[in-house]
A and B are shown apart, each in its own frame.
Chain A
Amino acid sequence: MSTATSSRRILGATSIALMTVAATDSLRNLPSMAVYGWSSVAWFLLGTFLFLIPIALVAAELATGWPIAGGVYAWVQEAFGERWGFLAVWCEWAQNIVWFPSILTFIATTIAVAINPDLAANNVFLVVVMLTVFWGLTLINLRGLRASTILERIGVIAGTMIPQALLIIFGLLWVLQGHPSQIPWSPGAMLPEINLSTLPLVATVVLLFAGMELSGYHALETRNPQRDYPRAILTAAALIFTLSMLSTLAIAMVVPVQQLNLAAGLMQAFYAFLEPFGLEGWLPVLALLTALGAMATVTTWMIGPAKGLGVAAQRGNLPPIFSRENRQGVPAQALIIQSSLGSLFSLLILFVPSINTSYWIFSALTTQILATMYMLLFASALRLRYSQPDKPRAYRVPGGKVGIWLAGAAGFLSCGFVLFIGFVPPGNTASGEELRYTVTMLIGYLLFTCPPFIFRALRKQNWKQPALEHEST
């Protein structure tokens, strides 16, 4: 290994674990899960068994067997070849562009609460904050992994894990002080209501834990992938599940149900949580911490897929502009193109009413595109067990072939379900609009997933870069 390469190996198990928690754990969905009361436990368990555990196990095996640049791209490419590897990383990169506006809006509205809640409805304020934050984070990512890792560490600890821990502690205090729970307990209350109207929630809870694989993009910067990845990913999975479920329950027990609605915003739920303890004055602090946590999430999602796309471009799948790295080894152009498109989308959503109205559909589309990537990932883990059985893997999904089939099939089928349900019109679709919904989703899905095939059809010989670090690693 060259000195240059070893000097770039800055990530240890703690950094990878925190990066994974930053990518996956979130305060944003707490009010919406809390409305399910005790049955939220069952929904979380469903998401954990169908997706979180399978993806954690599979990502750990792939990352230790193929600790090479490209992450998802490299793993799928090993299993199914160049075309599918490119499609997988494209899906993860492209869905970011549509997803960024929603998390940036969340950051801006949360910051607004710390200054003046009325600003949350002011589009000019929102767009200024969104673009400032977005391009600030892009600049930090351009400065290299060391800079972005510092932000991720601070952001996820102060902005996600500490607030969640405080919610859990105050929830416990609430119970111990003898206050009545807002969700009366009964054995039946734990059972989820599963019917045609709640099936879409299954799709939602499966991808609540999306992002577990993102640290795989940084294999070349990891000190000892074989040792650190399994530890880090499995620790992160345990942390994410425990913190998410307990903090959701804490909110459900303390906050009256009428205060819990995503339209009112996460900060409204936090206000209602702090009020009984006389701590509502702390809301602006909590708002700023929450915004910081969301910034850590954006940072993680921003750089990982862009790096993977950069490697795919080095292999000749995309024009060289996508693979150009700056001195810090960051695919600067891929990152800037991503941020430019994300900014454009943010502006469209805030200022074009028809796009604003359709954004939920766009958002659902990103879920399907992400599910496609995960299906390829689970299928790759299965295939590689057979096509490269003797490849040394420091970590293997336990249980031999049965174990990998259980994890791979659970993940593949649940993501397949997410993909399928995306084409089914929601139960509340207006009569006569069902076909339009399905056709729209189908066309949108094809449009988002066809560019890799178009790029490959148009590719030129000189797109491929001569020196590929990940091939020699």
Chain B
Amino acid sequence: MKRLSLLLIVGVLAGLLAGCARSDFTTQADLPTITKALETAGLQICAQGDLNWNVTAGFVEGKYYDIAPDCAGYDANKPGARVHIARFDSAAARDAALRNFETTYRRHPGAGIGRAVGPWLILVDGNQTVAAVAGLRAALAQLGVQ
């Protein structure tokens, strides 16, 4: 009976944790679609720039955006949220980068946001305001990202 209970618990946990693989690499996505989703969700882009991750495996291109519901009073030290959007040349490279982001050291899943959309990664780290995170959540939902 004890063994059966244990197996049942493990089964339930496995089912809950099974989830699904990262986003299908062939999913169509591009920077304008992603930034449009941010704007549709009520976020403004307060600052932006190119990424140059030249020693990161499989990195192709990318940009960062400082976003907020309102850019008035924008402070580069504390943006509403800083979003990095990076494209990779293979699913393995994309997933390796996401794995680095999530688990390089012990941190709570709420301390950052990391999502894959086709070959792109959408990453948020650092200071975040509640309003900016709510906007991001809406933008991710629009993009069909869980």
| Chain A residues positioned under 8 Å from B50 (CB to CB) | 258
Say which one of A130-138, A145-153, A192-200, A384-392 lies at the interface with B.
Answer: A192-200
- Which listed residue, B19, B59, B101, touches A354 by the CB 8 Å rule? B19
Say which one of A12-20, A225-233, A429-437 lies at the interface with B.
Answer: A429-437
Find out whether the CB atom of A264 lies under 8 angstroms from the CB atom of B107. Answer: no
Main secondary structure on A side of the interface with B: helix
| Chain B residues positioned under 8 Å from A154 (CB to CB) | none
| Chain A residues positioned under 8 Å from B84 (CB to CB) | 258, 261, 263
> B7 CB to closest chain A CB, in angstroms?
12
> B58 CB to closest chain A CB, in angstroms?
5
Say which one of A3-11, A55-63, A112-120 lies at the interface with B.
Answer: A112-120
Contacts A204-B107, A361-B109 hold; do A430 and B99 have CB atoms under 8 A apart? no
Find out whether the CB atom of B57 lies under 8 angstroms from the CB atom of A112. Answer: yes
Find out whether the CB atom of B108 lies under 8 angstroms from the CB atom of A201. Answer: yes
Residues of B31-61 contacting chain A, CB below 8 A: 49-59
- Distance, CA A364 to CA B111, complexed state (A): 11
- 0 or 1 for each of B1-28: is its CB under 8 Å from A? (1 = yes): 0100000011011001111111000000
Residues of B72-103 contacting chain A, CB below 8 A: 75-78, 82, 84, 86, 90, 92-93, 95-103
Find out whether the CB atom of A428 lies under 8 angstroms from the CB atom of B57. Answer: no
- Distance, CA A259 to CA B109, complexed state (A): 21
Find out whether the CB atom of A200 lies under 8 angstroms from the CB atom of B109. Answer: yes
CB nearest to A359 among chain B residues: B103
Find out whether the CB atom of A357 lies under 8 angstroms from the CB atom of B19. Answer: yes
> B87 CB to closest chain A CB, in angstroms?
12
Find out whether the CB atom of A354 lies under 8 angstroms from the CB atom of B21. Answer: yes
Find out whether the CB atom of A118 lies under 8 angstroms from the CB atom of B58. Answer: yes
Find out whether the CB atom of B127 lies under 8 angstroms from the CB atom of A447. Answer: no
A-B Cβ contacts below 8 A, count:
238
| Chain B residues positioned under 8 Å from A112 (CB to CB) | 57
Find out whether the CB atom of A428 lies under 8 angstroms from the CB atom of B127. Answer: no
Find out whether the CB atom of B17 lies under 8 angstroms from the CB atom of A358. Answer: yes
| A77 CB-CB contact with B under 8 Å | no
| Chain A residues positioned under 8 Å from B92 (CB to CB) | 121-123
Residues of B110-137 contacting chain A, CB below 8 A: 110-114, 121, 123-130, 132-134, 136-137
- Distance, CA A188 to CA B75, complexed state (A): 10
Contacts A113-B55, A117-B57, A430-B146 hold; do A36 and B126 have CB atoms under 8 A apart? yes
Instruction: Enumerate chain A interface residues (CB-CB to B < 8 A).
Output: 26, 28-29, 32, 35-39, 99, 102, 105-106, 109, 112-113, 117-123, 126, 183-184, 186, 188-189, 193, 195-201, 203-204, 207-208, 210, 256-259, 261-268, 271, 283, 349, 353-364, 366-367, 370, 421-422, 424-428, 430-431, 433, 436, 439-440, 443-444, 446-447, 454
Name the 8 nearest CB pairs between A and B, nearest first: A426-B110, A200-B110, A353-B21, A200-B108, A35-B126, A121-B93, A263-B101, A121-B57
Further pairs besides A193-B129, A433-B146: 6, Cβ < 8 Å: A32-B104, A35-B125, A184-B77, A193-B127, A363-B103, A366-B106
Instruction: Enumerate chain B interface residues (CB-CB to A < 8 A).
Output: 2, 9-10, 12-13, 16-22, 49-59, 64, 75-78, 82, 84, 86, 90, 92-93, 95-114, 121, 123-130, 132-134, 136-137, 140-141, 146
